[in-house]
Chain A
Amino acid sequence: MAGVVLETLSWKKLIALGILLLLLLLSFFLIGGLVAPNPSNVMVVLGTKCLRKGSHMQEEWFIPFGGNEKCDSINSVDEDRVYDEGISANQIVFSFWLPYMRDGKQLDFSRWQQMLLTVMQLDIQYDPKFPMVKGNQYNCSLLAFFELGSLHYDYYLINVRVPVEPYKGINMEIGSLMDIWVIGIHQNGGFTKVWVSIKTAMFPIVLAVLIWFWRRIMMLTRPPNLLERTLFSLGIAMSLLNLPLEWLTLAVDMPFMLMINDIRQGIFYAMLLCFWIIFAGEHIMDQVERNRLKHYWKHLAAVIFGCSCLFIFELSERGVRLTNPFFSIWITDVGTKLALSFIILAGIAACSYFLFLCYMIFQVFRNISAKRTTLPSMSSARRKFYLGVIYRFKFLMISTLFCAALTVCFFIISQLNEGQWKFMDQDLNLEYTSAFFTGVFGMWNVYVIGLLCMYAPSHKNKPMETDETSNEEEVQLTHLPSETSSVQAFAAKAAAD
């Protein structure tokens, strides 16, 4: 293994680079917290109960408000008019217009708002025939309604009918349905703007660093080793995630964007997990010659298996929604079981992955401490080699742990923040959830940039010895640990005797 930039960099430069990256990281959090609004917002719409007349087979749309187009509506299903005119359940249509009026103005959706997810809430009046809870309304749980991956149009009109079929028993004993609420969740345009700007800014930067990294490797006389290739793929996955495809949604209807984003994110995290395994494996410092993918098949299989489980789950939820936005895998029993089994399998894969990873890191640390004891007796070149390996490993370990801890902390903060509702809190200006998203996104960008810079092969201070001698030394070195351990074992045995 040749030296990397990290080892040859002076402390001054390293600190300067570290501070630069930290500042970049901080600015990501601040952009999210101060500039961007909350990632998504909600709109609660109460259905207007329109009356339909004429034949039931007629296809007809009912508009809840407006001048002449407004449908004939009733305020409540138990008002006098319903009894006087003999209105039947089949004549009532719940009509929703998204988005509704505000401040005397008819709002329209913007394509910046990216997606619309709706949930339905039914208000069912308490009936003494079905005593479940006291009170005048049942406490019904929410129903998933539909999900649109793109907000291409300005308005959406929703008509809901609850037709009654007495002979088939459809919609017969659901209780007295007073109201239907539709809760629409959309991404905020401001958040999209900030998010896309970050992506647009980061994409060329990461790409430039990636090209620089690859050129350095190409300049070497030897072919790139496994670690370098993995790092390069990690950079590609990051660039893929950075690619600001969202610009296209402003012009083209792309309902598959939600899925593409999920998949891009999945690829990146899978790559990151693979990278950690390979990095740890390449730093074990035992005599096994790795540098080949097939040595890691167990670990990588866990990652790939877990990810493909999640991918199938994604396809069967968001994928099906591309053709039927009302679909949800969770509504049928079989679907729920299927979805749960995929998630559990992915969870098992994740657990086994982490066990592998922990075991590998444990091996590395054991070998490091074994090496430490023998360091003084080594030749200077050898010592330098091992010190380099240990230093590289520790640096990555610390920075990864730092990133992971930051992610977890921010995730907890934003989750805690979300559940509470603040009443007329004027002075609160920090959006934790946005800060979490931009911050974590920026953090992995910084992480990847840092890795590509630090772990690129160095040109300075090339070892004096030729490759052959260093190889020779490596071979010699590999015998050392086993010898010492046998000596130690012997000593221990002697002591026990």
Chain B
Amino acid sequence: MIKLKKCLDLQVVIILIWVLQSFVVNAMDMWWNLGVVGGAEVWRNQKVYILGAQPMCSQLKGLSLGQTKLCQMYHDHMPSIGRGAQLGIRECQYQFRFRRWNCTIIQGDSSVFGPVIEIASREASFTHAISAAGVVHAISRSCREGELASCGCSRALRPKDLDRDWIWGGCGDNIEYGYRFARAFVDVREREKNHPRHSAELSRMMMNLHNNEAGRRSVYNYAKVACKCHGVSGSCSLKTCWQQLPTFREIGDRLKERYDGAVESKFNKRGTKLVRKYKKYNKPTKEDLVYLDESPDYCVVNPKTGSLGTVGRECNKGSDGMDGCNLMCCGRGYNTFKRKLVERCNCRFVWCCQVKCKTCESIVDIHVCK
């Protein structure tokens, strides 16, 4: 009898541990996972979709508790969030293609970029900003496609139900909805826990919140305003304006500039707010990126910092910039190989599909860091 009871106890404990494990999210699990191939694939599977959102949202890797709840409430938004995360990751890789740290995805890692993001460096600030920007961009776009059910209408003061709202004052723009949803979704994981003053966790949380906001604003603030005149006889006595979503490349370029001018920060005396570390630099605005720690050395492999090193990276022989072999290989020198390059060329240009091209072959020199 006693033996059996023990056995049962053990089972209960095992089940408990299992339950706990499924709820406690690793601190560095990131929702960016949705953007990695396979991350949001679940949604494509129609059969599972019919079962309801509940089991689906807990299957998704990288969501925090609050994000899972939001996922259940707005499950139609999840493909857009996945697209947004993907946009962010791709843009990060494009912007950093000539850098020692090149936004490498680490397969199977739930934080996407590996432990290197745990350091509160400039790179971490960029990844947070660009992925938040990706979500704003993707949600706004989906709204304009009429794809999402809950994209809001105007915030007019008088009529209260949607139909009358719409007839009375039309509907507002969707970039704002994208911004609001992204703020709720991206920031919720930071706000889930309370941290004591002066703690490293608090400073990291504030840094992430600041950078997320900077990313979201980069979409909103760089939206171009386009106008159309339609007054008497088409004159400009009446003009209506709207916002054009900037291309994500533009957003990436802006954020890269912000990355270059990121502000190193520290706690204030009370340990509640981040302030700039050096008074000679300007105060960071809401659009600026902030970071806390210096970047680790990305030259060599370091399991402790998570740096992958630059061994095996291609470099540009003639360049003096970061992509030049001297800087990229950190002075270790490089090997040169010949590679046959197969390219599409002489393409017949139609606006979509069916591009008939020839394949041209050329042999180029490739330089790879030792």
Contacts and interface: CB of A to CB of B under 8 A. Distances in A.
B150 A104 contact: yes
A95 B258 CA distance: 38
A317 B226 CA distance: 22
Interface string A102-139: 11110100101100010101011001010000011100
B350 A172 contact: yes
Interface string B327-359: 000000000000000000001111111100000
B163 A418 contact: no
Contact of A418 (B156, B171, B220, B241): B241
Interface in A410-438: 411, 415, 418-421, 423-424, 426, 429, 433, 437
Given A37-B168, A40-B238, A181-B144, A310 B150 contact: no
Interface in B212-243: 220-221, 223, 225-228, 230, 232-234, 236-243
Given A40-B238, A89-B354, A64 B146 contact: yes
Contacts of A253: none
Contacts of B354: 86, 88-89
B249 A103 contact: no
A176 B170 contact: no
A113 B167 contact: yes
A135 B353 contact: no
B169 interface: yes
Contacts of A117: 228, 230
Contacts of B238: 39-40, 433, 437
Interface in A181-198: 181, 183, 185-186, 188-190, 193
Given A77-B353, A104-B149, A135 B169 contact: no
A340 interface: no
Contact of A46 (B145, B227, B250, B353): B145
B366 interface: no
Contacts of B176: 423-424
A82 B241 contact: no
Contact of A45 (B146, B154, B226, B350): B146
Contacts of A92: 352-353
Contacts of B247: 123, 135-137
Interface in A254-289: 261-262, 265-266
A103 B243 contact: no
A152 to B, nearest CB: 15
B169 A172 contact: no
Nearest to B220: A423
Contacts of A310: 233
A101 interface: yes
A45 B144 contact: yes
B244 interface: yes
Given A102-B166, A142-B228, A129 B146 contact: no
Nearest to A330: B234
A262 B237 contact: no
Given A43-B171, A103-B162, A190-B168, A317 B230 contact: no
Interface in B117-174: 141, 144-147, 149-158, 162-163, 166-171, 173-174
A41 B240 contact: yes
B232 A40 contact: no
A97 B144 CA distance: 11
Contact of A102 (B153, B223, B240): B153
Contact of A265 (B167, B223, B232, B347): B232
A44 interface: yes
Nearest to B236: A415
A474 interface: no
Contact of B353 (A82, A124, A193): A82
Interface string A28-66: 000000000111111111101000000000000000110
B222 to A, nearest CB: 11
A188 B170 contact: yes
A188 B162 contact: no
Interface residues of B, number: 57
A43 B293 CA distance: 45
B351 A162 contact: yes
A43 B151 CA distance: 13
A317 B352 contact: no
A102 B225 CA distance: 22
A87 interface: yes
B167 A110 contact: yes
A318 interface: yes
Nearest to B171: A102
Contacts of B347: 129
Most A CB atoms within 10 A — which of B176, B234, B347?
A: B234
A107 B230 contact: no
Interface in A160-176: 162, 164, 166, 171-176
A1 B157 CA distance: 55
Given A136-B249, A172-B349, A44 B166 contact: no
A37 B150 contact: no
Given A102-B153, A121-B244, A424-B176, A41 B169 contact: yes
Given A44-B144, A117-B228, A129 B349 contact: yes
A353 interface: no
A99 interface: yes
Nearest to B233: A314
A262 B233 contact: yes
Nearest to B242: A42
B233 A185 contact: no
Interface in B274-298: none
Contacts of A113: 167, 170
Interface in A68-82: 77, 82
Nearest to A92: B352
Given A46-B145, A117-B230, A433-B238, A188 B171 contact: no
A101 B170 contact: no
A174 B169 CA distance: 37
A177 interface: yes
A185 B230 contact: yes
A41 B170 contact: yes
A313 interface: yes
Contact of A142 (B166, B226, B243, B353): B226
Contacts of B237: 411
B352 A77 contact: yes
Contacts of A420: 225
A181 B151 CA distance: 18
A265 B232 CA distance: 8
Nearest to B354: A88
B41 to A, nearest CB: 14
8 A-B pairs with least C-beta separation: A41-B170, A100-B146, A37-B169, A190-B168, A189-B167, A104-B149, A177-B351, A42-B242
10 contacts: A37-B169, A37-B170, A42-B240, A103-B150, A110-B166, A164-B350, A172-B349, A261-B232, A419-B239, A437-B238
Given A86-B354, A135-B249, A137-B247, 8 more contacts: A46-B141, A107-B171, A129-B349, A135-B250, A137-B249, A188-B169, A265-B232, A429-B157
